[in-house]
Amino acid sequence: MPHELSNPLALIAELTHRCPLHCVYCSNPLELQARNLEISTEDWSRVFQEAAQLGVLQADFTGGEPLARTDIIDLVRAARAAGLYINLITSGLPLDETRLSALIAAGLDHIQLSFQGAQEGISNEISGTKSHGQKLRVLEWIKQHRVALTLNFVIHRRNIDQLEEMVALAESSSATRIEFANVQYYGWAFANRENLLPIREQLDRSMAIIKREQERLEGRIRVEYVVPDYYAKYPKPCMGGWGRKLMLITPTGDALPCHAAQVIPDLSFENVKERSLREIWERSAAFQKFRGEDWMQEPCKTCDRREQDFGGCRCQALLLAGDAAATDPVCSLAPLRPKVDAILAAVNLAPVSVVAPPPNEPLTRPSWLYRPNAG
């Protein structure tokens, strides 16, 4: 079927893989890119201009920790000059009051401050760093400014029972948005999956809490919830469809259709130092690969939902089915759904610890695989 090309709406700018945290579910690839390979301020500035011309409305500054870039103020200024709206997705660690003021003066629109939990113990365990106290300080500094704030909580078995405390933390801040995003199982999270997947009872409880809080906070704080798709009936419309809405640029300038695309074999990626964003978006093999419907297999090919979820996630298909063109195995209609059910059954039957141990009992902790820092 001929496919009408839309323009991307958001640019995910992965400015660096460097990060002071070592989160056990980090979405960065297992092979991190080093500082000396990162593209320059000038390269990024040109990318922002090209993105705006291509129709992109917003830039998500992320990483790694985007504040690890010493030129972050210049990058904010450049993106704003290009006409983009700027979301900064940060741990808040490399931040002080002066730098915060400078970022906002340069045109930063929205801060997404990531939290690993509502309590110090679990937060520090998950991030492999003493980080929680600094985040609480950052919340106080932000109150002095007129800037949008989202508190972002990555949710998993060890903190999903603390949603109410997380909401209370948000209510004590100037946040107008809370994002509860269940871990998605790629990269580091895939490696730590057995210790991260919530059990079904936890998930059911969490859904009831979210619904109640969404109603209570309407008009004051938007509460968004991303369910773990292993428990879903249908797959997520990953990235809003391959090559339809989003473009991700890695720290070294490679343009990807999604965060995890590098796991898919035989895909090669164009670099913004060699090609314009428009050329990459419209013509590169990687962006064409799973665009539209021609690549689909049954049951997606004839499914009524194919324009809603686009067959789900290509990287998840590769990770679970060994074939990036397969129906996402989390779909209840997928031939490989029994494999996902088996993973869930193992997690739900095993006697798992759902309560974070006190910090002085390291032996009861799961044996996490922590991500290292990029060189």
Partner 1 sequence: MTIELTSRPLLAAGCRLGENNQQRILQMPERALRLNGPSLEIVTRCDGKHTVRQIVSELQQIYSKAQPRKVEEDILGYLALLQKERALDFEQ
Binding site for partner 1 (CB under 8 A): 9, 52, 55-58, 83, 85, 87, 109-110, 112, 146-150, 174, 176-177, 218-222
Task: Please say which residue, 199 or 217, places its beta carbon nearer to partner 1.
Answer: 217
Handedness of CA 107, 112, 114, 119 (dihedral sign): positive
Considering the complex, state which of residue 109 and residue 341 has its C-beta at the smaller distance from partner 1: 109
Q: Considering beta carbons, is residue 91 or 112 the nearer one to partner 1?
A: 112
Q: How far is the CB of 81 from partner 1 (least distance, A)?
A: 13
Cα–Cα dist 316/338, whole Å: 15
Q: What angle do CA 206, 130, 96 make, to 5 degrees?
A: 100
**Beta strand extents in 79-194 (DSSP E only):** 85-90, 110-115, 148-155, 177-182
| Shortest Å distance, C-beta 304 to partner 1 | 27
Q: Which residues pair with 12 in a beta bridge?
A: 60, 248
Q: What is the rounded end-to-end Cα distance, in angstroms, of the chain?
A: 45
Q: Which of 368, 319, 360 is nearest to 339 (CA)?
A: 319
Contact by Cβ (8 Å): 341, 329: no
Residue 178 C-beta: closest distance to partner 1, Å? 11
DSSP-assigned states of every residue in 80-91: HHTT-EEEEEE-
> Two tokens at 221?
């704080």
Nearer to partner 1, 110 or 291 (CB): 110
Tell whether the torsion through CA atoms of 236, 313, 332 and 298 is positive or negative: positive
CB of 57 to partner 1, least distance (A): 5
| Cβ 337 to partner 1 shortest distance, Å | 31
State the minimum distance, in angstroms, from the CB of residue 9 to partner 1. 7
Q: Which is nearer to partner 1, 53 or 271 (CB)?
A: 53
Q: Which is nearer to partner 1, 52 or 336 (CB)?
A: 52
Identity of residue 32: L
